Amino acid sequence: MRWFKGSIRSSIYGLLGNPAGPSDSSLETGTEDIREAMLTLLGDAGMKQFPNVTRRIRYANDVQALWYLRGDLMAALASTQGEAAAREKVSHITEMFHGLLPGSLNSRPSPLMG
């Protein structure tokens, strides 16, 4: 059954414009590194103040789920540290996703950020 999961993943990556996709081990390692970095940014106080965000990050199934949780993390950090600090910290997390997502999910420069 393991081969089936990998072949579906590589087929999806191929359809989305990233023919090879990351290996299973690099994807798993990267996902856990990102999860730990997100929880570290929240810190102990943030984990207590935002238990729903903490839970969602801790139990996210895959790297795509963590990708979409960046907004929740940004909101939590912005409420405690200010938007500028939160934006800077989340941008470092965003860089960690490089090479782990299908091409269609990668960040693109915004014309508004000038």
* Residue 74 within a domain: yes
What pTM was estimated for this model as a whole? 0.70
Q: Which of 79, 70, 84, 87 is nearest to 35 (CA)?
A: 70
Contact 18, 97 (CB under 8 A): no
pLDDT of residue 1: 43
Higher pLDDT, 112 or 84: 84
* Residue 83 within a domain: yes
Average pLDDT, the chain: 80
* Residue 69 within a domain: yes
* Residue 16 within a domain: no
Q: How far apart are the C-alpha atoms of 67 and 101, rounded to whole Å?
A: 9
For residue 72, what are its two tokens? 């929740």
* Residue 91 within a domain: yes
Overall domain count for the chain: 1
The residue type at 90: V
Please write the tens of the pLDDT for every residue from 34-72.
Answer: 999 999 999 999 999 999 999 999 999 999 999 999 999
* Residue 40 within a domain: yes
Residue 50's domain spans which residues?
32-100
CB atoms within 10 A of CB 61: 8
